[in-house]
Structure formats: C-alpha cells, structure tokens
C-alpha cells in the first residue's frame, strides 16, 4: 500500500513539474459578450465611439461613428506574441452607396496600446477597388495606414452581408499574419496576408468598427474574441522562446560561466563514424 501511495505521489510531482512548465509564460482570454442588453463586458474600455452588448453579442449601431473598444484586464498591455480571433457580421450593404462602400467595416484590434496606437484587421471594400478585402491597418496619432491587404476569393460584395466571418491574426515578433473564413466553411481560407511591421510589439486586443448609417437600421456585430499567447516574464520564458546565443547554462547572461563551459568542451567532437571522435551514446 505504501508503495502505491509513493508511486502516486511521485507521479503527481512529475505531472505538476511538467504542467508547470507548459503553463509558464502563457495566457488565454475569451470574451463571448454574454450579458444584459446595454451592458459592457468586464474590464473593457471604450477608446472612442461606444460599446454595448446586444443579444449576447457586441453591436455597433449605424451612426457613422468610429468605435474602438478593448480588453484592459491586468497584464493585457504586456501581451506580445499571440493568436487572436473574432467573429464579425454586418447587415449593411456594400453596394448601396459610395459612403458605405468605402468606410463600412468591422474587425479585430490587436497590440492595442491606447486609442491612438494599435493595429486592426478588418473586412473592407477599399475606395479604389471593387470587392471585399481583408485589410491590416496601423493606427498612429497621425491617422491610420493600410499596411497590407488580400483580395478575397469571393468578390461579390453581397457575399459579406448577413453572414458571419472569423478574422484571425497571428503575431510573432514583427510578423503579422491575418486570415479569414466564413462560418460553416472554416476549412476554406478565403484570404490570408502577412506583413512585417516594427511599430508595436505588445498590447491588448479588442474591436474596431465603423457602421455606416444606411438609413435602414443596419448594424455590425462581433462575437467570441479569443486570445492565446505567450508572455516574457522571466528567464525561463526567454530561454524557451528565443534560445539566446552563447548562453550555454540558460541563465540569461553571457559571461565567464558560459566561457568556462565552452572551454571545457573545446575541440570535442562527437561526429558519428569518425574514429577520432567520442561516442557518448555508447557509454
């Protein structure tokens, strides 16, 4: 009986060590916008415009107003490399008039530092093009710049009306990849684009929207924001994600200890098949 308990305890310790390693430096956040109509999700702030839960979704009223809202929970300003996704939906038409065509959009805001510094990826019909695109914008105090876009494989503007699409962004250093799929056809990537930009390396996630007043009560919705990523909080996180060059003992300093380690193994060779080299796997 004692042996059984001992084995169980050993297994638990090993399991805790293993899962502890997996949990270190990672984070996860989801927001499904469930709640009373007119309420705001917990720990969200409005950058500009408004934020309102309606029928357990985010809803942007058609008032020609720009909206930016984002999660502001503890530590979210330090989110760096992460994958985030958001479902978006609109009832407005991109064929009704030019104003709607060129402005109307909703998408996911990411690496949001404040209401003047962030990126967003959204479905939009650009002024000089005639079909829907997935666009990546960089917002600075001077305004917003289109830094990348991809043409949809489904060019009809009516395709984007009254249907849910999921926009996903993957952030890895200065690489930003965005893609989108339609609900029910998630295996079919409609468009994907990757850009390189060094402006913002960290920041939280949220929603950017302009719902143009179409005179018919149109609106934009969004739902199910999910964020999964890694944080750099200690040396273990650095070693796991970046493998610093020359730091042989993984203490996040390159110093004489690393030099001593290098000296101890200087000119060692473990080349298989070479008689002059050692074969530690045979010892």
Q: Which residues of this chain interact with Ca ion, rule CB under 5 A?
A: 32-33, 56, 223, 247, 249, 251, 253, 258
User: Mapping DSSP to helix (H, G, I), strand (E, B) and coil, where does residue 268 land?
Assistant: coil
CA distance 180 to 160: 12
> Shortest gap between Cβ of 166 and Ca ion (angstroms)?
13
Nearer to Ca ion, 147 or 240 (CB): 240
Nearer to Ca ion, 32 or 145 (CB): 32
CA distances from 56 to 10, 127, 206, 222, 242 (A): 46, 33, 16, 10, 40
Nearer to Ca ion, 95 or 249 (CB): 249
- The string of DSSP letters for 189-236 reads --EEEEEE--S-S--EEEEEEE----SS--EEEEEEEEEEEE---SHH
> Shortest gap between Cβ of 151 and Ca ion (angstroms)?
30
Nearer to Ca ion, 154 or 164 (CB): 164
CA distance 126 to 102: 6
> Shortest gap between Cβ of 200 and Ca ion (angstroms)?
28
> Shortest gap between Cβ of 58 and Ca ion (angstroms)?
8
How does strand 57-61 pair with strand 66-71? unpaired
> Shortest gap between Cβ of 109 and Ca ion (angstroms)?
18
Cβ proximity of 154 and 202 under 8 Å: no
CA distance 149 to 109: 15
Question: Any idea which residue has 């930016």 for tokens?
Answer: 68
Nearer to Ca ion, 31 or 168 (CB): 31
Of 113, 74, 62, 67, nearest in space to 207 by CA: 67
> Shortest gap between Cβ of 37 and Ca ion (angstroms)?
12
> Shortest gap between Cβ of 53 and Ca ion (angstroms)?
8
CA distance 177 to 220: 24
Nearer to Ca ion, 33 or 94 (CB): 33
Nearer to Ca ion, 57 or 92 (CB): 57
Helix (H) or strand (E) holding 238: helix 235-242
CA distance 119 to 58: 19
């Amino acid at each position: 009986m004692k042996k059984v308990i001992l084995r169980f305890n050993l297994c638990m310790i090993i399991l805790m060590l293993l899962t502890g390693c997996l949990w270190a430096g990672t984070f996860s956040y989801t927001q499904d916008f469930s709640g009373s109509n007119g309420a705001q999700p917990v720990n969200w702030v409005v950058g500009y415009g408004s934020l309102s839960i309606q029928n357990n979704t985010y809803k942007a009223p058609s008032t020609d107003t720009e909206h930016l809202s984002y999660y502001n929970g503890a530590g979210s300003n330090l989110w760096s490399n992460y994958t985030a996704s958001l479902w978006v939906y609109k009832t407005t038409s991109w064929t009704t008039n030019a104003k709607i065509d060129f402005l109307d959009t909703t998408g996911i805001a990411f690496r949001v530092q404040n209401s003047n510094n962030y990126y967003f990826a959204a479905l939009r019909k650009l002024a000089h093009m005639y079909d829907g695109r997935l666009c990546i914008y960089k917002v600075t105090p001077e305004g917003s710049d289109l830094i990348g876009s991809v043409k949809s494989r489904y060019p009809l503007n009516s395709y984007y009306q009254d249907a849910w699409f999921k926009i996903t962004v993957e952030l890895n250093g200065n690489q930003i990849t965005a893609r989108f799929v339609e609900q029910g056809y998630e295996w079919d990537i409609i468009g994907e684009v990757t850009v390189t930009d060094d402006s913002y390396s960290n920041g939280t996630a949220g929603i950017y929207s302009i719902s143009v007043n179409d005179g018919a009560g149109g609106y934009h919705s969004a739902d199910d924001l999910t964020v999964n990523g890694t944080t750099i909080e200690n040396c273990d996180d650095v070693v796991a994600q970046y493998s610093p060059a020359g730091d042989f003992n993984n203490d996040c300093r390159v110093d004489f200890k690393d030099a001593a380690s290098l000296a101890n193994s200087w000119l060692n060779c473990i080349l298989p098949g070479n008689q002059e080299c050692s074969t530690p796997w045979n010892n």
